[in-house]
């Protein structure tokens, strides 16, 4: 996909992820967490990367994903496709952390 199109897909994912968090439909949040590292690794345009980093920062600030997941996403954004298997394994090995009361 073209670079602007990839950014639009991240904006769409952001909308779905944040709305499912509010509605306690974490199945979608978890499903996105499995594919986002690979998607982030495909972004090569610096201006698009900067916008996606901003999305990750918002997720971090709002506790959308655990800190380890955010770090893995940021790493995927700055890495090559070859290391995606390692990043994906790291994410799938993480235990699901319970939501804080403020997140329910």
Query: So what's the pLDDT on residue 61?
Result: 96
56, part of any domain: yes
97, part of any domain: no
Over residues 13-27, the mean pLDDT reads 86
C-alpha span between 41 and 50 (Å, rounded) = 13
Record the pTM. Answer: 0.72
Extract the tokens encoding 71: 């770090």
77, part of any domain: yes
Say how far residue 44 (Cα) sits from the centre of its chain: 16
Please count the structural domains in the chain.
1
Please check whether residue 81 is in contact with residue 91, taking contact to mean a CB–CB distance below 8 angstroms: no
96, part of any domain: no
Say how far residue 9 (Cα) sits from the centre of its chain: 12
Assign 12 a pLDDT band (cuts: 50, 70, 90): very high
48, part of any domain: yes
Residue 59: give the domain boundaries.
3-91
Report the greatest alpha carbon distance in the chain: 40
64, part of any domain: yes
98, part of any domain: no
What's 13's domain CATH number?
1.25.40.90
Residues 65-97: tens digit of each pLDDT: 999 999 999 999 987 545 555 666 666 666 555
Extract the tokens encoding 9: 């897909």
66, part of any domain: yes
Residues 31-74: tens digit of each pLDDT: 999 999 989 988 888 889 999 999 999 999 999 999 999 999 99
């Amino acid at each position: 996909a073209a670079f602007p199109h990839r950014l639009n897909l991240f904006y769409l994912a952001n909308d779905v992820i944040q709305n499912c968090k509010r509605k306690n439909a974490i199945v979608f949040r978890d499903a996105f967490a499995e594919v986002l590292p690979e998607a982030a690794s495909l972004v090569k345009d610096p201006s698009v990367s900067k916008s996606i980093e901003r999305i990750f920062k918002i997720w971090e600030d709002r506790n959308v994903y655990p800190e380890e997941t955010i770090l893995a996403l940021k790493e995927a954004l700055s890495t090559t496709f070859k290391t995606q298997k390692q990043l994906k394994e790291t994410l799938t090995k993480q235990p699901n952390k319970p939501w804080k009361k403020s997140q329910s």
